[in-house]
Amino acid sequence: MEISRIKELALASGFKLKDQVNGELDLNAYVYDFAQILEREVLAQARSVFGQEAVTIDDTEFLDAEITQISESMSEKHYFDNGESEELEMLVAKAMKLGELYERKKWQEAKAIPEGFVLVKKELPGEIAEAMALERVNSPLGNETNPFWVETIEKVYKEHLHKKKWELWRDYKDAIKAQEQQDAS
């Protein structure tokens, strides 16, 4: 990433310019170093996640310049008039759009959920655990009217609900962990 872009992003994020040894106001050198280290790490993670090289601004700018150079060269070499040059530009634009569509389709297929699977959160949401616990723990209140026993029964019932909720969270977490281990192997 270019120094000017790092500076722009850092200032927009609240970093402040400081007096430097050379007498100029600038970000401290470690900010630039950190940004470049972070960029390398992000690109490395992208490569590991997508199994391919990550596309950078330099890549797209280089390809754009190459396409422009080839188009201009073809126009000159084959003496294209304005209409033919415009047709060539339209062909290039449509080819680029087709490439984008292929990449989007590839991305969607990679993100698709396989048959027989569903997408769930890694952590069981509290409200779902609560609802599941309520379904699984029977309310023990019957015809009891004695306030002492009603209070005792309600207390025991709430403890059972709490215990069931933790049991559900544990089982859910174990199921997610087992699936992750199976996917890793």
Residues 130-171 have pLDDT tens digits of: 899 989 998 776 777 888 988 888 899 999 999 999 999 999
Count of other CB atoms within 10 angstroms of residue 124? 19
> Residues 8-53: pLDDT tens digits?
888 888 888 999 999 999 988 888 888 888 887 777 776 665 555 6
Q: Indicate yes or no: pTM above 0.75.
A: no
- In this prediction, residue 54 has a pLDDT band, given cuts at 50, 70 and 90, of low
Q: Are strands 18-19 and 25-26 parallel, antiparallel or unpaired?
A: antiparallel
Question: What would the DSSP string read from start to end of 95-152?
Answer: HHHHHHHHHHHHHHHHHPPPTT-----SS--HHHHHHHHHHHS-----S---HHHHHH
> Residues 166-177: pLDDT tens digits?
999 999 999 988
